[in-house]
Amino acid sequence: MQILLVDDEKELVSTLAERLGYRGIDAHWAVTPNDAVAMLSEQSYDIAVLDVQMPEMNGFELKERMEAISPELKFIFMTGHGSEECYHEGCSQTGEAFYLVKPVEIDSLIEKLNQVMHNGGKP
């Protein structure tokens, strides 16, 4: 499973990627949406885990950009932002089960990754 983690908090994504690596998941990371788009142009990924609130563009806009490059890519949102508007937007795009609020336990994230990977995004 190839994962791309995108969040403007570098210490969060780099640590999370390392921990996923210890569990046999090949996770790469980017701290800007533009870096993420560039990485996706170079290599294919199975799932992108996106922060919602980021400089340059938000996670929903980034999802659209990434889908244009890689239509098969699946998504999970992981956010510290709890607004109703974001929640409904995120849930409408990925389903409620895949709109995660930080901090996220790694076992819970892996369970979601497996669900997305094997059940086509259905919880």
Task: List residues near another protein by CB under 8 A.
Answer: 9, 11-12, 15-16, 18-19, 22, 53-56, 58, 80-83, 101-106
User: With contact defined as beta carbons under 8 Å apart, do 73 and 40 qualify?
Assistant: yes
Smallest distance, Å, CB 34 to another protein? 11
Minimum CB distance to another protein smaller for 32 or for 93 = 32
Minimum CB distance to another protein smaller for 14 or for 70 = 14
User: With contact defined as beta carbons under 8 Å apart, do 21 and 27 qualify?
Assistant: yes
Smallest distance, Å, CB 35 to another protein? 14
Minimum CB distance to another protein smaller for 103 or for 120 = 103
Mention every residue, 6+ apart, whose C-beta is less than 8 A from residue 1: 25, 26, 46, 47, 113, 117
Full strand arrangement of the beta sheet holding 2-6: 26-30, 2-6, 47-50, 74-79, 99-101
Smallest distance, Å, CB 122 to another protein? 26
Minimum CB distance to another protein smaller for 42 or for 84 = 84
CA distance 114 to 20: 12
Smallest distance, Å, CB 83 to another protein? 6
Structure tokens at 105: 């336990």
